[in-house]
Amino acid sequence: MANDKLVIFDTTLRDGEQSPGFSMNTEEKLVLARQLAALGVDIIEAGFPIASDDDAHAVALISTEIRGPVIAALSRCNPADIQRAGESLAPAERSRIHTFIATSDLHLERKLRITREQCLEALIAAVRQARGYTDDVEFSAEDATRTDMDFMCQVVETAIDMGATTINLPDTVGYSTPEEIAEFFGEVRGRVPNADKAVFSAHCHDDLGLAVANSLAAVSAGVRQIECTINGIGERAGNASLEEIVMATKVRPDRLPYDTGVRTQELFRTSQLLTEITSEAVQANKAIVGRNAFAHEAGIHQDGVIKDRRTYEIMRPEDIGVESTLVLGKHSGRHAVKRRCEQIGYDLSRFELDRVYRTIIDLADRQKHIDDDDVTRIIESTRAELARTETAARPA
| pLDDT tens per residue across span 218-228 | 999 999 999 99
- pLDDT at residue 64, rounded to an integer: 98
Q: What percent of the chain lies above the pLDDT cut of 70?
A: 97
- pLDDT at residue 310, rounded to an integer: 85
> 29-43, 58-72, 121-135, 312-326: which range is least confident on average?
312-326
Average predicted confidence (pLDDT) for the chain: 93
Q: How many CA atoms lie within 13 A of 122 on its CB side?
A: 24
Q: Do residues 121 and 156 lie in contact, with contact meaning Cβ atoms separated by under 8 Å? A: no
Q: Report, as an integer, the average pLDDT of 247-259.
A: 97
- pLDDT at residue 21, rounded to an integer: 85
Task: Report whether pLDDT(5) > 60.
Answer: yes
Q: What is the DSSP letter of 114?
A: -
Residue 396's pLDDT band (cuts 50, 70, 90): low
Q: What percent of the chain lies above the pLDDT cut of 90?
A: 78
Looking at per-residue pLDDT, the higher value among 113 and 20 belongs to: 113
CA distance 251 to 242: 14
Residue 143's pLDDT band (cuts 50, 70, 90): very high
Task: Report whether pLDDT(2) > 60.
Answer: no
Reported as a single tens digit per residue, the pLDDT across 264-298 is 999 999 999 999 999 999 998 999 998 888 877 67
Rounded to 5 degrees, φ, ψ at 270 are -65, -45
CATH architecture of 4-278: Alpha-Beta Barrel (3.20)
CA angle in degrees (0–180, nearest 5) for 338-339-341: 65
Reported as a single tens digit per residue, the pLDDT across 174-198 is 999 999 999 999 999 999 999 999 9
Ranges for all domains in the chain classified under CATH 3.20.20.70 = 4-278
Task: Report whether pLDDT(159) > 90.
Answer: yes
- pLDDT at residue 33, rounded to an integer: 98
Rounded to 5 degrees, φ, ψ at 212 are -70, -45
Looking at per-residue pLDDT, the higher value among 78 and 367 belongs to: 78
Rounded to 5 degrees, φ, ψ at 258 are -130, 140
Task: Report whether pLDDT(1) > 50.
Answer: no
Task: Report whether pLDDT(32) > 90.
Answer: yes
Going by C-alpha positions, the residue among 281, 371, 359, 360 that lies closest to residue 325 is 371
CA distance 172 to 144: 7
Q: Which residues of the chain form beta strands (DSSP E)?
A: 4-5, 7-10, 43-47, 70-76, 95-102, 137-142, 166-168, 199-203, 225-228, 258-259, 295-296, 325-326
CA distance 169 to 202: 6
- Predicted TM-score of the model (pTM): 0.87
Reported as a single tens digit per residue, the pLDDT across 330-366 is 888 888 898 889 988 899 998 999 999 999 988 988 8
CA distance 272 to 281: 9
Q: Which residues contact 366 (CB under 8 A, 6 or more apart)?
A: none
Task: Report whether pLDDT(304) > 60.
Answer: yes
Looking at per-residue pLDDT, the higher value among 113 and 370 belongs to: 113
> 48-57, 245-254, 255-264, 329-338: which range is least confident on average?
329-338
